Every structure is written in structure tokens, then in C-alpha cells.
Amino acid sequence: MGKLLTRMNREKYIYLLLLPGVLYFIIYRYVPMAGLVIAFKDFNPFTGFWNSDWVGIKHFTRMFESSEVIQVLVNTIQISLLQIFVAFPVSIILALMLNELRHATLKRFIQSLIYLPHFLSWVVVVGIFVVFLRGEGLVNSVLANFGLEAIPFLTDPAYFKPIIILQVIWKEAGWGTIIFLAALAGVNPSLYEAAVIDGANRWRQLWHVTLPAIRGVIIILFILRLGSVLDTGFEQIFLMLNPFNMDSGNVLDTYVYFKGIQQGNIGFATAVGMFKGVIGLVLVLSANRLAKRFGEDGLY
Amino acid sequence: MNIRKSMMLWVVLILMFTAACSNSNGTATPKEGVDSGTNQPSDAKKPEETYKITGATYIFGNPPPKDGRGQKMLNEKFNVDYFAEKIPNDNFVEKITAMVAGGSMPDQISFRSTNMDLFNRWAEQNAFFPLNDYIEEFDYLKAIPDELWLPFTVNGKIYGIPTWSPVESQSFMVRKDWLDNLGLPVPTSYEELKKVAIAFTKDDPDQNNKQDTYGLAIGQDINPTFAMGPYWQHDTWYHQDAEGNYIPGLISEGRKELISFFHDLYKEKALTSDFAVVNWADTNNEFYSGKAGVFLIAPRGMSQDYMEALLAIDPKAEFVVLEPFAAPDGSQGFTAGAGFSRFLTLNAKLANQPDKVRKMLEIHEFSRQYYQASKVTPDNKDFDWFYGNEGVGYNLDENNVRVPINDPASGTEPFLYFIDSTAWIGPEDDAEYPHAYSEPKLIDATQQLVDINKKYKLYYPPHVGIISAKETEVGAELTQLLMNEQTKMITGNRPVSDWDAMVQEYMSRGGAKIIEEYNAEIKARGYTERLWK
Amino acid sequence: MLKRTLGERAIDGLNIAILIIIACLMLLPFIHILSVSFSSLQDVLQKDFILWPTNWASDAYLAIFASDSFIRSIFVTIYITVVGTAVSLILTATMAYGLTRKVLGQRVILLMVIFTILFNAGMIPIYLVVKETGLMNTLWALIIPSAISSFNLIVIRQFFLSIPNELSEAALIDGASEIRTFWSIIIPLSKPALATFGLFYAVGHWNKYFEGILYLNDAAKWPIQVVLRQIVIMNEATSTLGSDVMAQLENQPPPVTIQMAAILVATLPILLVYPFLQKHFAKGVMIGSVKG
């Protein structure tokens, strides 16, 4: 006990540093979590969280009651995996390409341009894509000039997922580079000098100096992204859905929206969030364990 | 040194935080967060108590700041401490629910007509103040027709005051100049409309020798409806099944006819191509850019900016508004609007404050007065005050129409601060819809629509204000399902002959229950024969 | 620098070419929005896609700047962004550093933080806490409840961990306290990371709208994004299946030219932050401070 106290005394400044943040998390994140109880209740604003009627797992069964839900989960995971394994690496590659640029002004200039689309809302982005990809849109006009047949980009279900990923890349890839560029800025230039003296060419420098320097950040981001594997982004997909691609494009977020989130059913919305959280938690914990087994720091 | 440095950091942070808290408590006006049931003890010296009246409603666009000139004028005139919070429409329900859950339900809420299910749920919780005893006391409440009280009556108690909205129907306008160029008559049936739409697509109606025009501008979710009477309208209850039960338009015979009409036009490219992916704003663009020849016109709310743009693109453009088509069952006319666009409820906790209730209704009555433009002068004191005094808040133009001087965000005019400034336009009053515009061709088209509405009787559907438990649960999902399947039928991805299978699916997934619940309520209301008036 | 081979130069050239093409593709929509905002409505309606205005018109901007609410809300947002970013960065950096030290309870706190990434308490419970802590109707309601992003906290901690241990250990052995070490070793070495997360927080604060609607009742305090949303059709995503045509008509948004001008004016200030932060991303930060 005394030992513990001495240790805590020695570390008191660290506790001082932690205190405000911990208070914040308790007050604004954990106290409200008590409200998760309404996933099992019929929320009634007049009686409040504690006195609303219990409904057991009604909200959870509602999520799974229809046969579409299997297809919906498959779509969700497919789009999510495409985002993780296609869109996410694009940011890394883009950051590495920028890192290789020797011309400092050009580098800054391009950096400041590629993060622009991040600031546009999905309504605007989807609007622009529709102008380009409609049956009589700009892309198809070009195709027609070459005597090619129009491609139904927006209504043929086969194009749905590729276009969704393309939009995500276009909107977020540039923004995604910022975090990696920050990591690359921390690389000690003497490491490169040493590599050059060892006779390493550009590829080997990239492989042995640059990538290891950002590996930690990549792994952290990857694990965190796994936690939201059932979140595909609502607005973009909702705006891109139409009667023809509904079967291959309906994801969990849009499915539960049609199922009643739009009617303000708070209990149902909470249950859906909880389901997504549990799946995410399992994935994060397993990915973290895996990362540690391979000698990485992991999340904690 | 280090400790001091870090301690100072935290002291500053904590100070900032407490400043935030005390700031909120110190400067907060007494309006917020105070339970509406509690009231300050009255001051014996004053002849009348200064009531604090809280309220909340939705808004499109940006409201004025809390402390504008208009707000002060309002509080002075009525000797109240009045505040009506304006919540952005998209998040209105979320915020109002949070306010109630936080124990600060305001004294009055003005809901949107689309919030009926919320109203019903809350009425069942006895959240609202019953108004039955007050209706006789106020002329403006007596003037409200009986059928409009119906949706707000729960277990015999009236909990809501409807706010006027036009019962006059929308219709569709056709490019008259194109009809004249092609020598076609104004269509009076879907057969004729189909011919017109196809001719607009193939016969170069604007005579520019280019294939750059077509018939009907339509967008996703088959919007606008192009229903030329309740027989074809999807969002009304007109048709009856074999047992005499009313059924929703979306699964009716009339809708099926309309869908095959669209399908025929789609094949001829006389509809907006790719309409299933075109949003509402772009649907408008199809017409106002001079590409499509037929589009929606409503008694109010048309965009003069877009009309002016169309006339800049094509100065020769002329418009004719379509009259309702004769339906196969012999009926001819449009569907009446619900008659209300918003409604006001009072907090149940006002039960022991009848004088405060009277004060609130007095203010509500005042803000709902209708000032006909032809009769208005700055000498009309109420009018002049309401709109912030001539020369400060407004000027009158040559037609005696009020022109505001300032942007609403300046808060100059008192009318901006009432919870509900929608005038009640009685059946005998002229609503003066064309007065909203200055563009002559838009005025003319609006006048045509008003005249058509006067010429025909309106259908008053039986379903207005009915809430079905099943519909609240699965209604949106089923509507989406039907819209999707019908869109596929228009494009030919699914044959129209599948109609019965589609209706069957609707029925089995809860539609039958919805129809049953609606009809029980329709019968209870005593609505049997279709009502036209 | 050693002489570069021909092959390396070719790769460099290709790299530059690809990056320039990508940059152009990403600039395109902004030029489009800019051009629409400076065009007349009939030009916008007539053309499929505007890349440069044919007839310059500034009506849209006059309309925006004629309204008090737009300017007022930009100042509100600048205030929230500056104060909010400072508060967020201080809270996040101190906590993240604390979490790099293996003290008693560190693992529990980390797990607690990760948990909040996965589970969100929901709007109404948070509303109640904001109300109980007295933040309602103050701009602090837009700053304090979202002060620390769990995601940023985790990643910034990772950045701190990547700083070689020897540096801080040496300082500690020299008798510096933990706080002193944090202040004079860790912070200077983490400038790129702090700039990055400062930017993330700034953009997050700049884009706040839902909190503004939920926690403020005075339109004079509304941040720019709320005012913008009331101008631009953002409710497209929640359209009511065409049954609400009357409401759609009665609440016509302003012409698309004004909408685009509003988007541009509301976005431009935050876009300018990044170019100013870029100098902190320069290489050699670490070596410089170690030597210094």
C-alpha cells in the first residue's frame, strides 16, 4: 500500500495532466451513456429515460425481421471493405507521392488543392457526379461522340459500388494524406542520408525508411477504421440510391432509415447504434490483439 | 515554476469553464429552461401581470436575432415577456423532443402539418391544454370550420388550433407558345396530353430545328404527380375497394392508369430521361431552362427568379394552366388541401392559468389577422404596427402591396417574432395569390389557376389527420417500396401487368392493416359518400 | 544531394504529372461552384456544366452580403473555431501525453476512450448533460461537449509514442518534471502533429451545425453552417417522397447561384488555414530541436 502511494506520489503530475481529460470523458461521454438504456425501452419524453416502458429486445428484432437484412449486411460489409482496402491505401500512396516531390512550392500548392473536395457536402458532390454520369450526362455525350453506346452508370446496379468508392476517394483521399504527411515530417533526414550512403535507391529508401516511419499511424488508423465497419456513411449512399440499384446499394444505415429512424424512433436508433458498436468492439479488440502479436504497439 | 505554469493553465481552463456556466446563468433571459407551469408572483401595483410566454416553432430560412426592434415592440404592446424560438425545419422534431425530455416544454408549440403523429402521441400523454372552453370566446377560433377541428380532437378534447393554408389545388402549366406553334389544342384528357407531350418531343415546338425539347418534367419518386384529379392522385384516399373501404391512391386503379401513361411517354422519350435520379431542384431546371413543356404550378410559392430566367432564355414563352380532366367515374375537379399547414398547441401545465391562456390566444388572434392589399393603408394601425411602420419596416407599391424594407434577419418588424404570423384567410376573402409576384406572365398563370379552382368543386378526402399505428410503424417503408416498383414500371424494368402482385405485397406487409385502421376511423367520423364542395 | 539517374528523373516527372492531374480533378468542382456563383441564373439553367462564366454577374454575392445573418454568423464561427481549437488541443495533448506514461489506470483510461469511439450516447442524453452543466444557449455548448475527439486523442498519442524515449528520459533524469518535459521536449518535437490535429479540430469546429441548432435559441448566435443550411437545400436527403410538394414549393430555396455563392463564402475562410499551417509540415523538425 505504501509502495503504491509512493508510486502515485511520484506520478502525481501525470495524473494532473490526465485529470481534465478524464473529467471531460466522464461528464460528457459516460454520464450520457446511461441513456443507452432506451435501446430496450419505448422512449417517452414525458416520462424520461428511467420511467419509459421496457420493451425487451423489440428494437433489435425489428432490425432483423425482414429477409432483406442479409443482403443489406453483405452490401454494407462489401462497401466498407472497399473503403478500407481501396480508398484508405489511396491516401497513403498519395502522401508518399507528395513526399517524393522535391519541388517545395509545387508540393505545397498541390497539397492545398487536393484537400479541397473534403469541404463540399455530399449533396453538392453527388449533384456534380449526377451531372456527369446521367444517361445524357457529360460522360455519355463524349461516348456518343465516339459512336459508343451510353452507359447507365447511375441505374445499373453493377456500377453502384465502384462509383461510391470513386466518390469517396475523390472527396476524402486528399484530406486523408494530411495525417500521413504529418507523420512523414517527423522522419529524421539523417536516416535518408545514411540510406543513400549505403547505396539505397529511391525504392529502397521508400521501403526501409519512409514506410516504417508511418507504419505505426497506419496500423492505428486501420484498427480504428475496423471499429466502424458497419458505418458506410448515410448521406452519400442515400443520395445515390434509386429504385434500380436498391438491391445492391441498400446498406445498414439506409435500411434502418427506411425502417423508422426517419420517424424519430429514438429507441430503435439507439439499438441500431448499439449493434454497430458491439460488432466494432469485437473487431477492434481482435485486431489490436493481432497487431500486438506482430510486435506492434496497438491501441493500448 | 513548472507546477505554477501547469497550474495556471488549469486555472485558466477552469475559469473559462465556470465563466461559461455563470454566463449562461447570469445573462440568460428568464425565458429559457423555466418550467412553464411556474409563474412569478404578480406585482400588486401593476394593473395586469406581465406574463412570460415561451414558444417554439419551425422555420425555413433565417430568423431575426432575439433582441430586435420587432421583439421589443411586441413585448411593449401586449405587456408580455414573449419569445418564440424558431428552429430550423430539418431538426425541429429532434430539438422539440429534446426540450420536452429536458423538462422545458414551452408554453406553446406551433407544429408542422407533417408532425401529426407526434401530436397524437403527445396528446395521448396529456401534454396539451384542452381548448374546448375557449373557442366560443374568440372570434378567430369560431371562424374555423368544424372539419378542421377534427384532426385535433383526441378523446373529445381539442388540443390544436389549425393555421390556414390554401385548400385551392395545384395544377400543371403547359407552354402555350409551343401548343400554338404546333397548332395543338389545350389538352383536356390524358390521351390529349400524351399527344401533346410526344409532339413537344418530336415536332420541334420551339422551331429552332433542334431536337432539344420534350414533354413532362418529372423527377425522382415520380414527382410532380401530374394527377389531374383525385382519381389519379397518389397521396389521397379516393378509390374504394369491393367492401366500400377507402384505399390509398398509391395502389388504386387511377394510379395504375397514370403509371401506364408515364410508361408510354417514357418509351417516346417525352418524360425527363433518367427521372429516377433527378432531384427536385434539377426537375425544376428541366422546365425553367426551356427543355420540358409541362410542369407544376401552385397557388403560391412559385419562384419568380426561375420564371424570369426562363423568360430571359425564351422571351416568347407563354403558359396555359390545365383544367382538371374528367375521370372515368364521371368526377371532375381537384383535391382540396388539408386546409392547415401548421397548428398551435398549448402546454397542459397552463391549466391553472386561464388568464395567461387568454393572453396567449389574444396575441395569436392578433397575429392571424388578414389584411387584404386593396384595403390596406398605413392608417390601419394594426397593419402598420405589425409590419414595423411605414418607411421603417415597409413601403407600399403602386398596387398597394407591401414591400419590406429590410432583410428579415434585421428584426425590424414585429410580425417576425410571433410564433405564427400566418393570416387566416376565410372562405369569403380573396387570398390575392397573384399579388405575391411582379412578373406579368407569372401573375397571369397564377390567376388562371385561381379561376380554375373557382370553377370546379374540390374533393375533400376522408383521411386527413387520421393516424394509423401500423402506418407510423411501416408506412414510410411501404410508400418507398411502391414508389420504387412503380418507377420500374414506368421505365419498363417491370411490366405494369405486375400491378396486382405489387398491391398484394403491399397488403401482406402491413398495407391491409393500415387500410383497416384508416377505415375504422373514417367510419367513426361518419364520412361515407365522397365529399365535393 | 547526389546526382539523380535518368530513371529517377523519369519517375519524378511521372510523379509530378500524375499529381498535377489529380490536383486539377479536385479543383474542378470549386471552379464550377465559383463560376456558377458568378453567372446569371439563365446561363446556369441553359448549360449542363459551367466551367467559366460567360456573363459575369455578382448579384448572388450582393444578395448574401445584404443579409445581416450571414456576416454575423461568420464572426460567431471564427470565435468558436479559435477558442474551440485552443481548448481542444490543450485538453487532447495533455491527456494524450499522460496516456503515454505507464501509470496506474492508464490502460483502463485508454480502453474507456476507445469505447467512446464505438458507442455514442445519443442526442437526448447529451442534451440533458449540456443543460445540467449550464451551457445551454451559450457558445460554450458548441465547444466543451465536443472538446476531445477520441479518435484524435488516440492518434496524437501514437505520435507522442513515436518520439524516441531517450529524449524525455534524459530530461527526467536531469531533474525536469513530467510537465516540464512535456512542455519543452514533447511539444516542440510534435509540431507537425499538433498542426495536423489543430487543423482537424478547426475544421470540426468550423463545420458545427447540429449543436448550434440543438443548444442555441437565439439566431444571433447561430454559427455559419446553420445559416448556410437554411439557405442551401440540404434537406434533399430527407425529402418526403414527393407527397409534400406544397411545402417544397412554399419554401423554395433561393436560386442556385445564391446557394453556390453562400457555400463558397462559408467555406473560404477555413480553406485558407491549411496553407498557413504548411510550414509546420516541413522536414527536419526533429533534428532541429534535438540539436537546439
Taking the CA of residue C133 and the nearest CA in chain B, the distance in Å comes to 7
CB-based contact B127 A46, cutoff 8 Å: yes
- B contacts of C55 (beta carbons < 8 Å): none
| Contact at CB, B480 and A258, closer than 8 angstroms | yes
Tell me, yes or no, if B476 comes closer than 8 A to chain A by beta carbon.
Answer: yes
Task: Give C179-221 pLDDT, tens digit per residue.
Answer: 888 888 888 888 888 999 999 999 999 999 999 999 999 999 9
Q: Are C180 and C172 contacting, i.e. CB atoms less than 8 angstroms apart?
A: no
Segment B504-518, tens digit of pLDDT: 999 999 999 999 999
**Facing residues of B459 across strands?**
B335, B532
Q: For residues B230 and B236, what is the distance between their CA atoms, to the nearest angstrom?
A: 7
Question: Which residues pair with residue B171 across a beta bridge?
Answer: B297
Stretch B176-192: mean pLDDT = 97
Residue A134's pLDDT is 87
Helix axes B92-101, C123-132, angle to 10 degrees: 50
Using an 8 Å CB-CB cutoff, list chain C residues near A52: none
Q: What is the DSSP string of A231-283?
A: ---HHHHHHH--TTTHHHH--HHHHHHHHTGGGT-HHHHHHHHHHHHHHHHHH
> In this complex, do A243 and B125 lie within 8 Å of one another by their Cβ atoms?
no
| Residues 346-385 of chain B whose Cβ lies under 8 A from any Cβ of chain C | none
Q: Which of C42, C210, C222 has the CB atom closest to B309's CB atom?
A: C42
- Substitution target in B277, B284, B291, B498 with the highest count of A β-carbons within 10 Å is B277
**What pLDDT is stored for residue B375 in this prediction?**
78
Verify whether the Cβ–Cβ distance A264 to B476 is below 8 Å.
no
Pick the CATH number of C59-284 from 2.30.30.40, 1.10.3720.10, 3.40.50.300, 3.30.420.10: 1.10.3720.10
Nearest to B357 by CA among B31, B148, B80: B80
Backbone angles phi, psi at B531, to 5 degrees: -100, 120
B66, B67, B68, B74 alpha-carbon torsion, rounded to 10°: 90
CA distance B533 to chain A (A): 34
Nearest-Cα residue of chain B relative to residue A137: B274
Binned at pLDDT 50, 70 and 90, residue A209 comes out as confident
pLDDT band at B47 (very low <50, low <70, confident <90, very high): low
Peptide bond into B224 cis (omega under 30): yes
Mean pLDDT of C131-139: 95
Minimal-distance CA residue of chain A relative to C272? A112
Decide: B242 and A119 in contact? Cβ < 8 Å: no
Nearest to B55 by CA among B420, B462, B313, B300: B420
Minimal CA–CA distance to A164: which of A193, A199, A125, A202? Answer: A125
- Count of pairs with CB atoms under 8 A, one residue in A, one in C: 260
Residue B99, pLDDT > 50, answer yes
Instruction: Judge whether B241 is closer than 8 Å to chain A, CB to CB.
Output: no
Q: How far is B231 from chain C (nearest CA, A)?
A: 16
C236: pLDDT strictly greater than 50: no
Query: If you average pLDDT over every residue of chain B, what do you get?
Result: 88
Query: Which amino acid, one-letter code, is at B234?
Result: H
pLDDT of residue C282: 59
Say whether B23 and C140 touch across the interface (CB within 8 A). Answer: yes
Residue C167: pLDDT band (50, 70, 90) is confident
3-state secondary structure of B190: helix
Between B170 and C290, where is the model more confident?
B170
CB C87 to CB B13 under 8 A? Answer: yes
For chain B, give the percent of residues with pLDDT over 90: 65
B212: closest chain C residue by CA: C46
- Residue C270 CA to residue C84 CA, distance in Å, equals 14
CA distance C177 to chain B (A): 7
Rounded CA-CA distance B87/B344 in Å is 15
Residues C146/C92, Cβ–Cβ less than 8 Å: no
Residue B453 belongs to what H/E stretch?
Answer: helix B440-455
Residues in B closer than 8 angstroms to A243, CB to CB, are 276, 483-485, 487-488
Chain B touched by A45 (CB under 8 Å): yes
In this complex, do C124 and A181 lie within 8 Å of one another by their Cβ atoms? no
Verify whether the Cβ–Cβ distance A136 to B118 is below 8 Å. Answer: no
Under an 8 A CB cutoff, do C236 and B279 touch? yes
B180 near C CB under 8 A:
no
Cα separation, C137 vs C127, in Å, equals 12
pLDDT in tens, B209-262: 999 999 999 998 898 999 999 999 998 999 999 999 999 999 999 999 999 999
Residue type, B468: S
Region of poorest pLDDT, from A126-135, A222-231, B271-280, B425-434: B425-434
Q: Model confidence over C18-56: pLDDT tens digits?
A: 999 999 999 988 899 999 999 999 898 888 788 888 888
CB contact under 8 A, B3 and C177: yes
Cα-Cα end-to-end distance for chain B: 86
Distance, CA of B262 to CA of B277 (rounded, Å)? 16
Q: Which ipTM value was assigned to this complex?
A: 0.91
Residue from B469, B462, B479 nearest B514 by CA:
B469
Q: Report the DSSP beta bridge partners of residue B111.
A: B343
pLDDT over 70, % of chain A:
98
- Considering the four listed CATH numbers 3.40.190.10, 3.65.10.10, 3.40.630.30, 3.40.50.2000, the one that applies to the domain covering B51-166+339-431 is 3.40.190.10
Q: Residue C178: which of B414, B2, A51, B511 has the closest Cα? A: B2
Task: List CB contacts (< 8 A) between B278 and chain A.
Answer: 130, 134
Output the CA angle C209-C212-C214, nearest 5 degrees.
110
User: C125 to each of A264, A266, A273, B94, C122, how far by Cα in Å?
Assistant: 15, 11, 14, 12, 6
Placement of cell 421496457 in the chain: A54
The closest CB to that of C213, out of B25, B88, B480, belongs to B88
Find, in chain C, the residue whose alpha carbon is nearest to that of B301.
Answer: C250
> At C4, is the pLDDT very low, low, confident or very high (cuts 50, 70, 90)?
low
pLDDT at A157 over 90: yes
Task: Evaluate if pTM is beyond 0.95.
Answer: no
Query: Which residue from A127, A154, A258 is facing B476, i.e. has the nearest CB?
Result: A258
Cell numbers representing residue C86 in the block: 485552443
Q: Using the beta-carbon criterion (under 8 Å), do B21 and C133 form an inter-chain contact?
A: yes
Yes or no: say if C245 and B295 are a contact pair by the CB < 8 Å rule: no
Return d(Cα B309, Cα B155) in angstroms, integer.
52
Q: Return the pLDDT at B20.
A: 45
CB contact under 8 A, C155 and A221: yes
What are the chain B neighbours of C144 within 8 Å (beta carbons)? 17, 20
- Model pLDDT for residues C240-277, shown as the tens digit of each residue: 443 445 555 556 678 889 999 999 999 999 998 888 88
pLDDT per residue as tens digits for the range B389-424:
999 999 988 878 888 898 888 899 999 999 998 888
- Residue-level pLDDT at B464: 86
Residue B500: CB atoms within 10 Å: 10
Q: Where are the domains of chain B?
A: 51-166+339-431, 171-335+439-531
Q: Nine-digit cell at C201?
A: 479540430
Contacts of B13 in chain A (CB under 8 A): 20
Judge whether A151 is closer than 8 Å to chain B, CB to CB. Answer: no
> Do B33 and C131 lie within an 8 Å CB cutoff?
yes
Chains touching C by CB (3 or more pairs below 8 Å):
A, B
Angle, CA C147 vertex, CA C143 and CA C153 arms, to 5°: 160
* Interchain pair C16, A7: CB under 8 A: no
Specify the fold of B171-335+439-531. D-Maltodextrin-Binding Protein; domain 2 (3.40.190)
- Residue A199: pLDDT over 50: yes
Number of neighbours of residue C76 by Cβ within 10 angstroms: 21
Find the DSSP H helices in chain C.
6-37, 41-46, 59-65, 68-98, 106-118, 123-132, 150-161, 165-173, 178-181, 187-189, 191-206, 210-215, 224-231, 245-250, 256-271, 273-277, 285-291
Range B55-73 average pLDDT: 93
- Residue ranges in B230-303 assigned as alpha helix (H): 253-267, 280-288
CA nearest A28: which of C142, B147, C78, B57?
C142
